[in-house]
Amino acid sequence: MLADQAVAPPLIRWLRLPLAIVCGAIMALGLAPYDLWYLGLAGLIAAFWLFASAPKGLYAVGTGWGVGLGYFGVSLGWIVEPFMVDAAVTGWMAPFALFGMAGGLALFWGLAFWGAAHQSRYPLAALVFLWAAAEFARAYVFTGFPWALLGYIWTSVSPIQLASVIGPHGMTLVTLIFAACATAGLMTKRPNTRPSIAAITLLATLFLGGTWLMPPLQDLSDRPSVRLIQPNAPQHEKWDPRFVKMFFDRQLSLSEAAPEPNQSKPDLIVWPETAVPVMLERSEDARRLMTLSAQGAQLVAGIQRGSAGTYFNSLILLDGTGALAQIYDKHHLVPFGEYMPAAAIFRRWNIAGLAARADGGYTPGPGPELLDLGALGRALPLICYEAVFPQDVYRSPSRPDFLLQITNDAWFGKWSGPYQHLAQARVRAIEQGLPMLRSANTGVSAVIDGAGRILVDLDLGVAGKVDSPLPPPLRVTLYSRFGDFPIFLVLVLGCLCLFWTGRRVSD
């Protein structure tokens, strides 16, 4: 179907790169906060058209790299925000960070385009599998960075429910298959409606399948009550001695406030990442005040702790009596944020991680673990960045009853970053069929059910609390059983088959 059909007219050489960048930028509009999925698909089809018009070699690499530069340049625009928190010191790094990140991730795509251009018989099919493999690779290579996966184009519409079956990388693969079929249908030399029919059929299947998988709302009567705290501490004020006590007292007041109408007294209170302004070793007085404000409820909060010269970004659980019941240390740290790779080299230029506590940064914890919350069940804690990784959730020691994310999205600014982070948290809930409690310093805090629906939330830039019944687990999904392995196997077999076919043709 995709063989010898997609032939585009040659482009003027100097137009190829700017057109590729524009295509990538349009693709990024399919992601939050824009959620223009149809524009995202249009940009993706245009990228396939550019590939079909590209000669082999560096032209193919440049086309793929340009598409990636536009896509990541728009979707990761929030990366400049952490550098502007202390603009006088680190602001100069912002444009270099954005271009470096976008250009670096675009290399994955450039390599995929280069490999696909060498498949003379099925170039579009080769691009589908190699591009999906490139997206899979960036989720794992160099600690991984699966932010803004192509499959997230569907987050605002029903097809995203299929993530419960095939996961985010499966969503990327079917998205690329659709774009390839649509491109082949638009560019065929001779009358042949099969690619177009295939594209339309696949699109209809995605929407119908997603709608069929969407479960009805659950009955939340007689469920435990939870409270999410959102202090709304801007990052440039969060550690300022003039404001530290104000933000801490604000969290205490929100914790001890009366329940919202038609809500029962909370059984669990959740504070965001690094919500406690002192180190755990010196937090006895702070924990006493937190316990009093919780009024018998369990309380989860983010805190920093040190041990033998190492520092951890941690989460603590205080039981109803105020005892320190459990500590969880974040294990998937942010490179160049919470730690510096090759710290000795960067130290020469006095460059340290933006959120690092000590020389070289935080130390990673041992890995995923569960919090035992008694009658509420067991929760899988995720600190900020960890909710971006589907594999981290899949690696849970055993199936939890719900997911619990604490985060400080003040680092991400006030536009795309916090909403993209929220969207990925929703996808984690869909993949596992588990509810998600999400407490964010500046927003968006939300209670999300196992279908990814936001039941209640506090918007960005608002200080407050939200009370809600805790949704029960929804379903044991196929993705929660098998993770990324089935899609990995499909990608490997697909690439091997295309490589073998290409060799036979060349022979």
Residues with active-site annotation: 273, 330, 384
What phi and psi, each to the nearest 5 degrees, are found at residue 402? -160, 165
- Quote the tokens at residue 439: 């407490």
Residue in the structure block whose two tokens are 């969880």: 328
What phi and psi, each to the nearest 5 degrees, are found at residue 141? -70, 140
**What is the DSSP secondary structure assignment for residue 361, as one 8-state letter?**
B
Q: Is 217 exposed, middle or buried (0-12, 13-18, 19+ CB in 10 A)?
A: exposed
Dihedral sign for Cα 251, 256, 257, 263, please. Answer: positive
CB 445 within 8 A of CB 300: no
For the range 322-329, what are the long-range contacts, defined as Cβ-Cβ under 8 Å and sequence gap of 24 or more? Answer: 322/287, 322/288, 322/290, 322/291, 324/287, 325/298, 325/372, 326/371, 326/372, 327/280, 328/365, 328/369, 328/371, 328/381, 328/383, 329/305, 329/363, 329/364, 329/365, 329/366
List beta partners, residue 302.
Answer: 315
| Distance between CA atoms of residues 413 and 429, nearest Å | 24
CB 222 within 8 A of CB 194: no
Q: Is 445 exposed, middle or buried (0-12, 13-18, 19+ CB in 10 A)?
A: buried
| Distance between CA atoms of residues 488 and 136, nearest Å | 8
Which of these, 68, 73, 69, 97, lies nearest to 83 by C-alpha position?
97
**Residue ranges of E strands in 16-57:** none
Residues 121, 122, 124, CA angle at the centre, nearest 5°? 140
Residue in the structure block whose two tokens are 């939200």: 466
Which of these, 429, 434, 366, 375, lies nearest to 401 by C-alpha position?
434
Could you give the angle at which helices 163-187 and 194-213 cross, rounded to 10 degrees? 160
Helix (H) or strand (E) segment spanning residue 311: strand 310-318
CB 441 within 8 A of CB 449: no
